[in-house]
Chains A and B, each alone.
Chain A
């Protein structure tokens, strides 16, 4: 699994997503015309460097899954650029896309639906090798399947079994082995451990870190669970209603959140850190609909620090030193609530 096939120029990140938008049409009327859109993803920028972990966090329904799938074109996005290994995936024709995204794979949330119940584990894992022509013959691929199973701490002779004979954690390991089978450089992990028991979660997370170290993998880790983020991620993107509202290194984000939404999220996790107890921000009201997002700043309906201009003017991502925030408060430097 050498990384020498890289077409990435030096200094260029492995994955660079800019202005990604995915809208789902809402149809109605006599002729089922499109009368509006669910703006599931509406301005997402993410950068992932080779070998590092970036987390994408946000409440349920904010568009994380849609973003993850759109950037691999499992759902066709409406606009944006997705530079992966130096090529814009969104501009590639179907045939080239197939090969271009071989090195970007995904691990799914639901251990029940991520494995075809009618196939044996061997065939599930070997599918990608078959279609991309990895390995000389069947025997060699089977051998690789055995290696991969052992790599994810399962037994080689599990390969002749069917998915339903495994536990949730084991199934996720099979999903990881499948993703690894085509020698990827990036894994998009969509809530990959959320469905598992806490103790199993820890095991799978350990496995992931180990794999990252051994194989120089980059992870885009999608989750709503901030405690997992802290354990794993180098950088963090926080999403709200289809947009990235804050982006920072994990360390800075947890120490000094800039965006009011991030602050609220952090206070919602049961904190074991006594330094952070004072920062208790809680939101009022429900999450607005992404079919009809609020004017101005999308967070203004729930923001505890809302100002008049927030209701009419839409804030852009504001560059701070080594981080970004989509909030007018950040414009005035690092005053305000920031404790620097």
Chain B
């Protein structure tokens, strides 16, 4: 067990190094510091101006280390700063990136956690329901609805719901959020702010999720041991809850972890549209302002979270299902 965990951790660490290299290639080799400076200063910027800008933001070093001069390259600085979590200041407005991210975390989590949990529960319940009535018209209708839901762009969900529920019916504010709300514990207000984005978030992903869970359940239902349980007189409901749900945990777990970055994807748009000042909004601002210094930290942090989640799943497999051998 220990060896297994260690191996997963070691591989995770290696992957982090790989991710850092990829980030470097994208943000330093594909978009060279000169281009970045020119984007920040405008096309007409002079050579001296560019050099000054590069020096100010620490881009005035060679990209790659050479044999003659192994230290002092941008590559090294990149690895050192991200691995030590010293993110420095934004190229755009000099605000410390670390602080910005810490501040944004709360708002992001306030949106994603309720969305994630309600989406998971709703998806599982719907899928169980549909799988319970498999091969009836309820099943067919359910799958049809899922595919319908999958075919609509999240943009349409957001724009449509804002238009109908906020603008026409005026049930909720179109957008807005107040970070103090969390600190004050003003749940009522928080609910008003979050209701629409959470609903939209759940709506936009339930189609794909439900259909996936249904496939897993139906596959499990047709297994021999389930038939045996049923033959022994266990009620259909009991079979579904006790046997099918439990044995379907592995694929569900995988799906859930894989969904974590997608959760962020959804929240990126949701935050921007609903004016929630979380990490998604920060990212969108960074894109608009060509602020690569923030963007690359974002990529790094989310890759890191993903890798950790992956390791956690691998380990939790063994807890959920004792049949999974640690190789």
Q: Pick the 5 closest A-B CB pairs, nearest first.
A: A30-B7, A30-B3, A30-B6, A29-B3, A28-B327
State how many residues of chain A have any CB contact under 8 Å with chain B.
6
A contact residues around B327 at 8 Å (CB): 27-28
Binary CB contact string for chain A from 3 to 46 against chain B (1 if under 8 A, 0 otherwise): 00000000000000000000000011111100000000000000
B contact residues around A27 at 8 Å (CB): 327
A contact residues around B6 at 8 Å (CB): 30
Residue B10 CB within 8 A of the other chain: yes
- With the chains together, A30 CA to B9 CA distance in Å? 10
- With the chains together, A29 CA to B10 CA distance in Å? 12
A-B contact pairs, 11 of them (CB 8 A): A27-B327, A28-B3, A28-B327, A29-B3, A29-B7, A30-B3, A30-B6, A30-B7, A30-B10, A31-B7, A32-B7
- With the chains together, A28 CA to B7 CA distance in Å? 10
B contact residues around A32 at 8 Å (CB): 7
- With the chains together, A32 CA to B4 CA distance in Å? 10
- Residues in B289-310 with C-beta less than 8 Å from chain A: none
- With the chains together, A29 CA to B7 CA distance in Å? 8
Q: Which residues of A are in contact with B by a Cβ distance under 8 Å?
A: 27-32
B326 CB to nearest A CB, Å: 9
- With the chains together, A59 CA to B181 CA distance in Å? 73
A60 CB to nearest B CB, Å: 23
Using CB atoms, name the residue of chain B closest to A27: B327
B contact residues around A28 at 8 Å (CB): 3, 327
- With the chains together, A30 CA to B3 CA distance in Å? 5
B contact residues around A30 at 8 Å (CB): 3, 6-7, 10
- With the chains together, A126 CA to B200 CA distance in Å? 61
- With the chains together, A281 CA to B87 CA distance in Å? 78
A36 CB to nearest B CB, Å: 14
A contact residues around B3 at 8 Å (CB): 28-30
Number of contact residues on B: which range applies?
under 10
- With the chains together, A241 CA to B10 CA distance in Å? 38
A contact residues around B7 at 8 Å (CB): 29-32
Considering residues A28, A29, A30, A32, which has the most beta carbons from chain B within 10 angstroms of its beta carbon? A30
- With the chains together, A28 CA to B327 CA distance in Å? 7
A291 CB to nearest B CB, Å: 15
- With the chains together, A245 CA to B327 CA distance in Å? 33
B269 CB to nearest A CB, Å: 41
Using CB atoms, name the residue of chain B closest to A28: B327
Binary CB contact string for chain B from 1 to 27 against chain A (1 if under 8 A, 0 otherwise): 001001100100000000000000000
- With the chains together, A27 CA to B7 CA distance in Å? 13
- Residues in B163-201 with C-beta less than 8 Å from chain A: none
A27 CB to nearest B CB, Å: 8
B262 CB to nearest A CB, Å: 31
- With the chains together, A139 CA to B197 CA distance in Å? 70
8 extra A-B contacts, CB within 8 A, seeds A28-B3, A28-B327, A29-B7: A27-B327, A29-B3, A30-B3, A30-B6, A30-B7, A30-B10, A31-B7, A32-B7
- With the chains together, A28 CA to B325 CA distance in Å? 11
Using CB atoms, name the residue of chain A closest to B2: A30
B7 CB to nearest A CB, Å: 5
Using CB atoms, name the residue of chain A closest to B7: A30
A78 CB to nearest B CB, Å: 23
B1 CB to nearest A CB, Å: 12
Binary CB contact string for chain B from 205 to 244 against chain A (1 if under 8 A, 0 otherwise): 0000000000000000000000000000000000000000
A contact residues around B10 at 8 Å (CB): 30
- With the chains together, A292 CA to B10 CA distance in Å? 31
Using CB atoms, name the residue of chain B closest to A29: B3
- With the chains together, A39 CA to B7 CA distance in Å? 27
- With the chains together, A29 CA to B3 CA distance in Å? 6
- Residues in B6-52 with C-beta less than 8 Å from chain A: 6-7, 10
Binary CB contact string for chain B from 253 to 294 against chain A (1 if under 8 A, 0 otherwise): 000000000000000000000000000000000000000000
B111 CB to nearest A CB, Å: 39
B contact residues around A31 at 8 Å (CB): 7
B contact residues around A29 at 8 Å (CB): 3, 7
- With the chains together, A29 CA to B2 CA distance in Å? 9
A184 CB to nearest B CB, Å: 41
Using CB atoms, name the residue of chain A closest to B6: A30
B318 CB to nearest A CB, Å: 15
- With the chains together, A32 CA to B11 CA distance in Å? 12
- With the chains together, A53 CA to B6 CA distance in Å? 54
B170 CB to nearest A CB, Å: 60
Using CB atoms, name the residue of chain A closest to B5: A30
- With the chains together, A32 CA to B327 CA distance in Å? 10
- With the chains together, A31 CA to B327 CA distance in Å? 12
B5 CB to nearest A CB, Å: 9
- With the chains together, A28 CA to B4 CA distance in Å? 9
B278 CB to nearest A CB, Å: 38
- With the chains together, A27 CA to B326 CA distance in Å? 12
A26 CB to nearest B CB, Å: 10
- With the chains together, A219 CA to B293 CA distance in Å? 71
A29 CB to nearest B CB, Å: 5
- With the chains together, A32 CA to B8 CA distance in Å? 12
- With the chains together, A29 CA to B326 CA distance in Å? 9
- With the chains together, A30 CA to B7 CA distance in Å? 5
A30 CB to nearest B CB, Å: 5
Binary CB contact string for chain B from 140 to 166 against chain A (1 if under 8 A, 0 otherwise): 000000000000000000000000000
- With the chains together, A29 CA to B8 CA distance in Å? 11
A294 CB to nearest B CB, Å: 24
B124 CB to nearest A CB, Å: 35
